Structures are given as C-alpha cells and as structure tokens.
Structure 1
C-alpha cells in the first residue's frame, strides 16, 4: 500500500505542475496523456448515448452469492399477517431491526413493526435495494411489543435472500436500528395498500435521515474498488481525481487491470437498472452505497467514476469508456444531476424538467418487474408537476395497458403538447397492445435519440408553438384527436440506414457522406427527372444539405442551427484520420506543426461525433407532394426512424415542435398510426413555418390517432 499512497499523493500535484516520473515508460506516457486530458475537463457529459438500453446487461442480484445459515433455512414459522393501515392517512410502518445480541438470535434476524404517522416517526433510515427474482422464503421474525427476553420462533415475514443479507449487515450489535424497507413495511398482498403507500414514497424518502443503497454482498472486486476510493483526496478536485486514477491504473497493469475491472463490475450491479431507485436516491437527504461490508458516500462514488470515465475516454474514446461498458455510470449521473439541479449552460437538459422529461430520462436507463411501475415509480411531487385534475393516481388493480394509456393522455392534456411522440415506436406492437400514440414505456427509444426530446434544449418550432387542445368530446379512451396539416409524403428512402451502434471505423465512415450524396444524385436524376442545373438551383451545396440533414441540424446538441458552417464540417470529416493521427502524436508529446490548428480541428471532430449520434437507427429520405401535383419544390431532405415507409405522410401537428410521420390505418377513414418524429429540411424553425404558404391555421385538418 505504500506505493499506492505515493501515487495518490502525487495526484493532487499533477493539476499544478507537469511531472515525468521514472517509474517506467508506460507510466510516463500515462502522465503526459493525463496532462493533455486536463485541458478538457470542462466537458459536460450531456446526454451521452443513452438511447440504446441493450448495450450492456446488468449482473442479476440473484447471482450475487448469499450465505443463509442452515438454522434459518430449516426454521418453522407461521407467516406474519400485517394489520391494515388506516386509509387516507399518512401512516406508515417502520422496521425496528433488533440488535444482534438479542437472545439466541445471532443467526436469526428479529424485528418489530411500528405503525406511526409520518409526523411522529423516530429517526429512521431508508433502504434502497433490488428484490431480484428468487422466492421470498427466508424468515425475518416479528416479535411482540415489548420484546420478550428470548426469541420465540413463531411468526415471521418471508423475504428474499438478498434482503436478509442486507439486514444482517445493517444490524447493530447492541442497539436497535429503525429502517423503512418496502418489502416488509408494505403489505405486498394488498393492492389497495400498495397504491396508497406509493403516494407517500416521496415523503418517506425525504423524511429519512439517510438512504442506504444496497448493491449486494461483496466479491473479489470490492477490495480493488475500495483501494480506488481510498486514493481520492478528501476535497473534490476533478483534475486531481483524474491524475490519481491515471496513476492507479498504470500501477495496476501488472495485476491484470483489476481496478478498472472492479469499477466496471460494481457499476454493472442490478441496482443501477431498477426503476424505483431514481426516486429513492434523488429525494434522500444523504446517500451511502453499501456492498457487503464496504460503505461509500454516493458523492465519492460519483467523483471516482467521473475520473475513471475521463481517463478511459481520453485513452480509448466513447466506445471503451464506462458510458458504454456499464449500466451504472449513466444512472449515477442522472441521480446526481437531479439531486443538484444542474445549472451548467452547456447541459442539454433543463434545470426544471417536466414530468414527461423525467420519464424519458429515466426510461433510457431503468427497468421494472411490474411494468406499471415504469410510471408509478416517478410519481413524487417533485417530478409529477401536473395539475390536480391530471395527476396520476396509482392503482394496482388496473392493467398495464390502462396505466400506460391513462398516463400518456394525462401528460398530453397537461402540457398541451405532443412531445410524447418522441417515443414513437414505428407501429411496433411490442408485448402489449396499446395505441400507437402511447409509448412502449419498457422500450421507449427503438430508433435511437428522438429529433426533439422533452426536457432538452431545442430551437425547433415547426408548428409555431401552437398548443394541442384535448377534445373532451372524444369518448374512446384509446384514440387521440389532433389538429394539423399534412404537408408532404415520403417519396424515397436511402438504401442505407444507420444501424451501427458505435463508430468503430470513424465518423466519416459511419456517416458515409459522399456515398449518400452520390446515391441521392442518382435518385434525383433517374427517378425525379431533375437535371444537374435543377439540382444545383434547388441545392447550391447538396453535400452540405445532406450533412446538415444527417446531423438533424444539431438536434443532439444544445444549439440549432449547427454553429459550424457545413463547409468547415465537411473539411474536418475529410481530414478525420489525419486529425486523429496528430492528436495521438500530441498526446505522446511528439512534435507536430501548427498544434493549435489540429487541436481546434479535434474539438470540431468531437462535436461531430456527438451530433452524429442522432443518425443512429434512422434513414435519410426525400419527399414528394401529398397530391398528384409534384415538382422540384416538393422535394425536401429529411431524417426519420428507419421504420418509415414510402407514402407515409409528414404532418405538422399542433403541440409538436417537429414534424411527425403518420401512416393511414387499415380499414378506417381518417384513422392514423403515429410512426415517429422526423427532421425535415426547411420546415423546422419558426421562420420556415411563417414563410411557407402551405401552413395555414385556417386550413388545418384533424387526424384521429389510434
């Protein structure tokens, strides 16, 4: 450990001076690489690429070993029956975890259950954990009040093995500990009580003195992880943290990168994907992460993984960082961002997101065993800022389809907005049969990042800010009547879409700008019968127009239109390999001519990597007229989900800041399916809509969405 302490001590110094240590060539190179990375620590994580949940599978909590004593496994007991809680009152149960010295209960866990009003509870802690899928068959014995001198094995609450392990770790030796644990404190057999207690969840977690995040029992990775935490300075200093992690990783290479593996393993624990953890963690006063006997403040966990991510990002880019290799990095970022209410102007998310924005952020990350909880887990008043008439009331007697449809209708009515179409699923039915205008909340982003995401900054205003007005005369719960105008149809789809998840071959290869331009020229010449002069007149810079469309004019960033000229972006794209080569040389402290030029180009290239994420799982298209009158003026470039088809209709709808692709439903007059949002060149901004004679308020149509 002496060498580790030496490395940690040097970490804070690196932010102030340049040092070269004689610890070996590899370590020396890492020092200089870190110094190069320190200049970009202002980088704000933004959204990352959260829109593909399938990139990493968490480690199921059930696979984390738990030791259950044989005496506990073989114990006989009667199942404890909860006494009903009073209805319409803010009363909860608290678990009094009796000490380990309680007579004859070292292996057994003994407790009492107290019923108290929230205003009268003793100081308590809340437990945030993962249930898992194993049976609830490990007894927690409930003793009467006052407790007897000896434990009488009689009534018990069966819990999961993982909860038993957590309680055994949290139990004190000589004093009681008061906890709120949903599996015990809520009668899970009583749907009415479950619904009532969900409404109190925000008060329960806000009222606790702290929340303990239980990740499961420790394994071989906990030791190296704890070493990393130990190396961090007490005071937060991002530059020093990055330097410390760099040294720690370099010194660890002879041991098979066990520290990097430890961080990755911990962030892939099941807890980081559970829907309820967002509310539990965000609302709590203090947060501590517990893994077996290791306990870490949440803020220190965040510091460590931020530093690890930056080191990995500098060394290997996005695809080799914690963002891509773990499920937990983004969860921690979402939680801390919501706890601190980020005020970074470069952040894509608003400081005060609405309920839909919270749901969309969460659905990029979280899952739930009960699909109704994909809505119910976010009903805290801090998130659900809906008017009383539109507030969502949990009801576990309702079906998943009813809960999802009801929540979506209330969100639309409250916001007078169709932003929920950001989760358009391209007519994919999924496991549940819900209307096309209702998201599949278990898989919101089938087609990558939407063109406009609720809660993220956007300058798009295709419908001039006109609100959606819910028509109360429509009585069919499964339909939605919207107003707007069908402006164009999809006339042609590029033969290649963007199914590639990562940029293994570079951004130029991924976008294939030259290939798209040549294919488009052939289409315009042979199918649309346009001459070269007509094409040049319609698009003076066709390559620039295609690039702007593939990037959706900066939809993935914080500024639209794109802040960089397309000619400059094309130059950087064509020089990508040379820019990356110069960057590697600068990182290695080799001489390069005009280094400031290459550094500036690299910054633009990094922006291109981010902006191009919008193209994932989408396709370039051109349009044609809705009616039979077609011509060059009806040809526009667009980008939409790869599920769109030729002859799908593009509509501007009141309440949607971007155009929406609709498809006629079979067998119904004026009935439509929602397919997805789209980017449509020349139709995205207020000035576009005002100058377009086709868009007239008085000439609006109605569409019945089913």
Structure 2
C-alpha cells in the first residue's frame, strides 16, 4: 500500500519497432511526492465494455477499452512517456489505499506537468484531417477574439474550402461536444481539468490546448460568431457548438473557483460516477482543504447513504446556515438511496419534479425569515454528523390548510409552451376563496391588500435577471406585468422567468392563519411551516405518527408571503420570549 508521500507513475513505452499495432507495454514505479516527480495526468471516461489486455511490468493487466485506445495513441515514438492514470496507479481493490489516494487527488492533478484530456478516437466517417479541421475552427474563434477586424483573421481550411469539408469538420466537432462525448458526463473529469495549470485536449491525433477554448468562449459570448461561420452553421451544428461552449464555460468556473463547495456540488451533481460515493469525493479537490473534514476522508467502506448525510451536515456547518436544504435534497422513494434521511442531499439521481438550483441558491440571501432568532447552533448540528436525524431549533408558523398544484414538469425540458395564465388564475381563484373554503383575509396580515399579497407571491418579492440572479427588490412597479401575464400579454422576460421559477414544480399553500405561499409540489394538508435558526427561508415538515410531537419528516423549502424578512418575530418586544422548539427531522 502507498503512503501519503507516495505515488505510482506509469511509464508508457514506445511502440515496438514503431509499429502502432504492437502491444501496449508499460512499466510502473513508486515515487515520492516530495521529490516532485515529472508526469502527465490523464483524464478520460471509464466504460463498462469488455476489458482489453496490456502489459505492465511483465504482467498482463486488464483495462477499459477507452483507456486502451488512449495508451496506444499517446505512445511516443522515441521515448518513454510518464503518466498518472487512476485505473493503473491506484489499487482499486484496496479500499484503504483508494481512500488515501483519492484524498490526495488535489495534489496529484495540481502537481502534474500537464493534463491530457482523452476524448477518444474519431468515429466512423470522421478522418484525422476532419478532427484537425474541427479544432482549427475553435482556433479560428480564438483568433477572432483579439482581432481588431474579424475579417482580417484567415479562414480555417474547413471554411475556406467547400461546404462538404465544413460539414465533415462539424461532424468531428459534434463527436467531442457535450451530449455526444462521454468525457463530459463523468464527475471525476471536472477537477481533473480544473486543477492543472496546463490542459491539452486529445482527439485521435488532433490536439487543442484548453486555453484556446477559453479564448474562443470570449468570441462566442461577447464578440459574436464571425459572419462566414454563422452563415454556414446549421441549426443542429449551432446547437452542439453551443453545447461545447456552455459546458466549457462551466468547467472554467471550476478552474477559477468561482463557486463555493455547496454551489460546486449542485452545479455538477448531474455528472455520473461508477461508485456513487464519487459523486461527492470527485469534487472535494475543488474545495478549500478542510471544508468538510469528515467527508474528505473519502471512505469507500461505509454506505452511500452515510456519505451523503455526513456531507450534508458538514455543508450546513460550512455554510453556517440551512442553505444546503433549499435545493433538492430529497428524491422520490422509488429512486432514493436506500437508508438515506429525507433531508440529506441525495446525489444518486435527480428528483422527478425538480427545482432550479440556481433560482433557489441565488435568491436565498434575499430573504431573512429567521431574523429575530438566535444564530444556528453549529456545534449542535455537528453532533448530528453520525446520525440519521437532524436536530434544529425553530418556531412553528402554522399548518397547511389548503394546497393548490402549480406547473408540473420534469427538470429536463420544462415546456415554456405551458401557459402560466391557467395556473396563476387557479391560484388567484383559490386565494380569493372561489374554489376552496380556505380564507385569506383582506387586508392581508402583512398590512397590504390580498391582491398585492398575491402579486408579491408571484414574484417572490424580487425580480430575477436572465441568470436567475436577483436584480430588483422594488417589485411594486412590476405588479402590472403580473396581471398582464395572466392576460397572456407579452411581458418583460425577466418577469416571466421570475414567475415561472415561483410556480414550476411547486404548489400554492395557505396556512390556517391565512398566509399564502409556494411549497414543493408534493406538500400535503397538515404539513407544518417552520422557521429555523440559520434558515433564511421557511421549511415544511410532515408530523410523524411516533407519539413524540417533536419528530417530523422533511418535505422541503417554502416561500410564505409576509414572513420572509423576519416579520413573524418583528412584533416581539425584548421582554417577550419567542417560543422555540427543538425538533427531530428524519
């Protein structure tokens, strides 16, 4: 087993007699990290096809086909190539060594001389020249970025020649884009490309430095597509070129460390891993060391549910608040990780009816529902790290007396063709008592009219921009847009986006005290609204039939109009004590 100061280096030998068809032969050695060994790190996608055989230090070793092809292609004709490759440099069957080496992955990829991103061999119908032409189009976009006059940049051969040559190059580009190349789907590849200073994309014989893509992004997003390229791009070609750019932007966010640990986790939770524990472990190299001390032990000998629940508790401690609970910590029972508590962030899959994480994340700090309560007791939360329950102290606002469903849609492909008018009208009719006995007083408990309360609810009391970021808290001037939206009239796109985010996969709720709000779409009558210490938004809980009135199942975050800025506690004088309870959440 390797020590903390040791690393295995794979020495990839040249092909015998320069025969590219000759067997792949390697040697392997152990080096001390403190000696700063020279090596390149490989980033690639694992696959589950039948393994192929290579020779390592005189023994036959089975590797995945993608790795086999990478090794054949990356062999140098005249010298040994030193590589670090997870599949061969970590004993995958020794869980103790694996945990130790995964803990050190930040060091492994930061210290490599270069990361080689293996995107595979060109598919059938794509030649080596097509692959090179595809990368030359990206180089062209990069060159345009700094040119005073776009037309002064020489056209790449695929654009200078006939249309068929361009289409073949774009077919090659499609093969390396997100949605068509498995490298973009693997969670490990995020930190593998984010940590090294130098990154080189390899597609068959064609290569492209990552810095070229970063420069091309500037052209794509700021300067705009050059005329000739724009004229030739079909709708489909534009789509997968856009996919390549968008997901490269996301990777660059990771390289620049713009996201904190929680944001990193949620940005990349859609990516896949062979071992679900790696959905967390594979991102820890992007966090400041020690952010999640228990989770960063990267233990493969404990259940997946324990990994996710421990990570969630440590995220709460790291944030010193309950923001980790506002996204989609809970999956439906049929797909949830066995044994996981409902409040834990379950990375194994997506909920059927998802909330937009960025909408929830960026809007969280706009609110201050717990204003008037003491800060979160971080030590008490830390004590839950080994438990399957979360103990929080807070105030019960009331129970849910009425539920009216909103727009229901799967995360992928929410249909913008679904008119908001019908849902908004159904919610308004409910608020006004036309379809239910639930009573919402007029004036509303917050001191304004019932109609104003409804308009504020539709906007969440803040207008978002196109990136979901709150941009204007003076929402009263947007009330006419809310009513216009109900009349199917065109309104500002930011208003449309804001309202959609308040209704999609959420339900209208009315409490027994007449407060209105939005909550997760599976909220039920009798669920309770709570405000907890450290929670800038309220949460809904479902009472457990356990004989203990302090035990609940977690339902999710909610928005309740009129208490989002601490109004629930604003009338308490200093001589009064807010009645808090400690609840046990499953």
Q: Tell me how far 1:526 sits from its aligned partner.
A: 5.0
Deviates more, 1:187-196 or 1:297-306: 297-306
Deviates more, 1:293-302 or 1:422-431: 422-431
**Which residue of 98, 103, 107 maps to 1:199?**
103
**Which residue of 33, 42, 56 maps to 1:142?**
56
1:139-190 deviation line (CA, Å, top 9, x unaligned) = 22124xxxxxxxxxx5122111110111111111111111111111111121
Q: Is the 8 A contact 1:94 1:179 kept in 2?
A: yes
Q: Distance in 2 between matches of 1:193 and 1:259?
A: 44
1:611 has 2:527 as partner: no
Aligned to 1:459: 366
Q: Is the 8 A contact 2:407 2:423 kept in 1?
A: no
Q: Distance in 1 between matches of 2:314 and 2:49?
A: 36
Equivalenced residue count is: 556
1:126 has 2:35 as partner: no
Deviates more, 1:214-223 or 1:275-284: 214-223
Q: Tell me how far 1:100 sits from its aligned partner.
A: 2.1
Q: Distance in 2 between matches of 1:675 and 1:209?
A: 48
Q: Distance in 1 between matches of 2:552 and 2:149?
A: 56
Q: For 1:159-170, what aligned pairs fall within 5 Å after superposition? A: 159-170=63-74
Aligned to 1:393: 297
1:445-497 deviation line (CA, Å, top 9, x unaligned) = 55222587557773212112722434377797211211001102222222443
Q: Distance in 1 between matches of 2:426 and 2:573?
A: 29
1:359 has 2:261 as partner: no
Q: Tell me how far 1:294 sits from its aligned partner.
A: 1.8
**Which residue of 92, 96, 101 maps to 2:7?**
92
**Which residue of 187, 208, 229 maps to 1:296?**
208
**Which residue of 374, 388, 393 maps to 1:483?**
393
Q: Tell me how far 1:511 sits from its aligned partner.
A: 5.4
Aligned to 2:508: 621
Aligned to 2:277: 372
Residues 228 and 382 (structure 1), Cα distance of their counterparts in 2 relative to 1, 3 Å cut: same
Q: Is the 8 A contact 2:310 2:385 kept in 1?
A: no
Q: Distance in 2 between matches of 1:615 and 1:260?
A: 39
Aligned to 1:652: 531
Q: Distance in 2 between matches of 1:476 and 1:534?
A: 48
Deviates more, 1:323-332 or 1:656-665: 323-332
> Unmatched 5+ residue regions in structure 1?
1-83, 144-153, 342-350, 580-600, 626-633
1:443 has 2:349 as partner: yes
Structure with higher RCO (Cα < 8 A, 6+ apart) = 1
Q: For 1:571-650, what aligned pairs fall within 5 Å after superposition? A: 573=485, 605-615=492-502, 617-625=504-512, 634-650=513-529
> Unmatched 5+ residue regions in structure 2?
none
Aligned to 1:36: none
Q: Tell me how far 1:638 sits from its aligned partner.
A: 1.2
**Which residue of 198, 214, 236 maps to 1:286?**
198
Q: Is the 8 A contact 1:450 1:614 kept in 2?
A: no
Q: Tell me how far 1:617 sits from its aligned partner.
A: 4.0
1:584-607 deviation line (CA, Å, top 9, x unaligned) = xxxxxxxxxxxxxxxxx7xxx232
Q: Tell me how far 1:549 sits from its aligned partner.
A: 2.2
Residues 473 and 307 (structure 1), Cα distance of their counterparts in 2 relative to 1, 3 Å cut: closer
Q: Is the 8 A contact 2:507 2:523 kept in 1?
A: no
Q: Distance in 1 between matches of 2:558 and 2:573?
A: 18
**Which residue of 389, 392, 402 maps to 1:492?**
402
Report the TM-score, using the length of structure 2 for normalisation.
0.82
Classify the secondary structure of the residue corresponding to 1:487.
strand
Aligned to 1:691: 570
Aligned to 1:550: 458
1:74-115 deviation line (CA, Å, top 9, x unaligned) = xxxxxxxxxx32x3x310001111112468785211111121
Aligned to 1:29: none
Q: Tell me how far 1:528 sits from its aligned partner.
A: 3.2
Q: Is the 8 A contact 2:12 2:82 kept in 1?
A: yes
Q: Is the 8 A contact 1:424 1:677 kept in 2?
A: no
Q: Distance in 1 between matches of 2:147 and 2:437?
A: 56
Q: Tell me how far 1:372 sits from its aligned partner.
A: 0.7
1:1-28 deviation line (CA, Å, top 9, x unaligned) = xxxxxxxxxxxxxxxxxxxxxxxxxxxx
Q: Is the 8 A contact 1:652 1:660 kept in 2?
A: yes
